[in-house]
Amino acid sequence: MSFIRNSSQDDKTKLLMDFTNTSQKEAQRLLRHSNWDVNSALNLYYEQASTKKPSNKPKASSSQTKAIQEIFNKYEDPDKKGWITVDGTMELCQDLGIDPTQLDFLLLSYHLGSKHMGEFSRQEFVEACLSLHCDSVAKLKHALTNDFQNNLKDVNYFRNIYNYAFLFGRQTGQKNLALDAAVELWKLLLAGRYDRLDQWITFLEEKHRKAISRDTWTLFLDFATQPNFDIDTHDAEGAWPILIDEFVEYLKNTSSNNISNSISSNST
B/e letters for 153-164, b = 16+ CB within 10 Å, e = fewer, are eeeebbbbbbbb
For the chain, the C-alpha Rg in angstroms (whole number) is 22
23 pLDDT above the threshold of 70:
yes
Confidence at 6, pLDDT banded by 50, 70, 90: very low
pLDDT at 4: 37
Tell me how many helices (H) and strands (E) the chain has: 15, 2
Residue pair 206/176 in contact by the 8 Å Cβ criterion: no
- Domains of the chain by start residue, with CATH: 3-51 (1.10.8), 62-151 (1.10.238.10), 171-267 (1.10.238.200)
Residue pair 102/188 in contact by the 8 Å Cβ criterion: yes
- Residue 56 φ/ψ region, left for φ over 0, alpha for ψ in the -120 to 50 degree band, beta for the rest: beta
263 pLDDT above the threshold of 80:
no
Query: d(Cα 106, Cα 99) in Å, to the nearest integer?
Result: 10
pLDDT at 51: 53
pLDDT at 231: 83
Query: d(Cα 158, Cα 255) in Å, to the nearest integer?
Result: 31
Question: Is 177 in a helix, a strand, or coil?
Answer: strand
Query: d(Cα 112, Cα 14) in Å, to the nearest integer?
Result: 33
Query: d(Cα 214, Cα 220) in Å, to the nearest integer?
Result: 10
Query: d(Cα 179, Cα 71) in Å, to the nearest integer?
Result: 35
pLDDT at 198: 96
Question: Is 173 in a helix, a strand, or coil?
Answer: coil
Query: d(Cα 84, Cα 23) in Å, to the nearest integer?
Result: 37
Question: Is 197 in a helix, a strand, or coil?
Answer: helix
% of residues, the chain, pLDDT over 90? 56
Question: For residues 245 and 260, which has the higher predicted lDDT (pLDDT)?
Answer: 245
Query: d(Cα 30, Cα 50) in Å, to the nearest integer?
Result: 15
